[in-house]
Each structure stands twice: as structure tokens, then as C-alpha cells.
Amino acid sequence: MASLIEKVQTLISANLHAMVDQALEANSVKVMDEYIRQAERNLDALEDAAATVGGTVRTLERKYKEYAAAVEKLDRDIDTLLVKGKTELATAAQADLNSKQQMAQEYYEQWQQQKKEYERLFDSRRKLQTKLNTIRDEREQLKALMELAEAKRTTVQAIRSLDDLKGIGDQDIARIGDAIRARLDEEEARLEMHTTGLEDELEEAIGDSVLQEQLAERRRRLGLEE
């Protein structure tokens, strides 16, 4: 029983902040899970012990009350016997009374002792249950916090990956754009080249036509036309 109470007291006095820090450092709630398992085992042990002691308390209480009632009855009977002059019976009853008083006192002391033990077990169970509930709540919150942190890390990694992909895409697009512009430049150069030749040919053709027209006008003026 003493070892059980010592284990329970150790669990009750566990430093929650240190446990949370340890869990955060390890990025795992295993330390809290282990505490929960130990607390649950000891709660079961406390419940069994409390049930046993509680049963003993009730037995001792009943025995004490039985002897206390017997003592009270004997006390009245002795007075009656003395009044009736039955000294021998009164003497025997007094001896019985003394024995029962001693037994009643012993049962009373055992009853009170076991009652205190029961109350201590009950109080320890209540405190451990409260601590366990707190640990469970903190575990869930801590687990949610870790999952959120992991989700954020995953999101950041995904964003970085997308940024990298976006960068690669930009480079590809840039290369494609450069290639397109290069081809356009080439086509424009070709077009310019062809256009320039065409313009030269046109200008040449136009120029020749003007010259021929001018010469024909001179021939008419000079009367040289056939």
C-alpha cells in the first residue's frame, strides 16, 4: 500500500511544464502518453485498494457499533442486576462489559485508522484523476500544436517547392520568349531585306518609267516620233 501511495504521489507531483517542454523538444507526445498509461494503471490500483479498504472500514464500523450497543445494554443490565441484588450476575456482566468495551475500543481505533487510509486513497485518486485529466487536455492541445506546426512546415516547404518550380517555369518561359523574339527578329530582318529589295525594284521601275515618259515627250516636241 505504501509503495502504491508513493507511486501515486510521484505522478501527482509530476512537473507539467517540464513534461510539455520535453514533449516539444522531442516533437512527440510519447512522454505524456507514458504518463497517462502509468496514471491509468495506478488509478485502477487505487480504485481496487480503496474498494478493499472501504469494505474493511464498513466491517470495522459495523463491529464497533455492535460492541458499542452491547456495552450500552450490559451497562443497563448491570444496574438492574445490582438493584435486584444479583451481585454474582452483576459481577459476571461487569467482566463481560469490560471485555466488550476493550473490543469496542479496538474496533473503533481500527475503524478510524482504516477510515483515514480510505480517505487518503480516495483523495489521492481524486488528485491523480484531476492531474490525468489535465495531462490529457494538455496532450491534445500540444498534439494539435505540433500538427499545426508540421502543417505549416509542410506548407512552407510546398511553397518553396512551388517557388522553385515557378522559377524554373519562368526560366523556361524566358528561354521560349527569347527564342520567339529571336525568330521574330530573324523574320523581320528577312522581311526588311525583301522589302528593301522590293522597294529598290519599285523605285528602279518607277524611275525608268519616268525617264521613258520624259524622253517620249521630247521626241514629240522635236517631231521625232514615228
Residue 50 lies in a domain: yes
Residue 218 lies in a domain: no
Residue 222 lies in a domain: no
Decide: pTM greater than 0.85: no
Residue 12 lies in a domain: yes
121 CB burial (10 A radius; 0-12, 13-18, 19+): buried
Residue 39 lies in a domain: yes
Tell me how many domains the chain contains: 1
Contacts of 17-20 with C-beta under 8 Å, sequence gap 24+, read 19/135, 20/138, 20/142
Q: How far apart are CA 65 and CA 135, in angstroms?
A: 43
Q: How far apart are CA 186 and CA 192, in angstroms?
A: 10
Residue 208 lies in a domain: no
Task: Quote the pLDDT of residue 148.
Answer: 75
Residue 53 lies in a domain: yes
Residue-number span of the structural domain to which 82 is assigned: 2-174
Residue 80 lies in a domain: yes
Which residue in 126, 128, 132, 147 sits closest to 33, CA to CA?
132
Q: Residue 72 is which amino acid?
A: E
pLDDT in tens, the chain (226 residues): 668 888 888 988 888 788 888 887 888 889 999 999 999 999 999 999 999 999 999 999 999 999 999 999 999 999 999 989 999 999 999 999 999 999 999 999 999 999 999 999 989 998 899 889 888 888 888 888 778 777 766 655 654 544 444 444 445 444 544 554 555 455 455 545 544 554 555 455 555 666 667 667 777 777 776 5
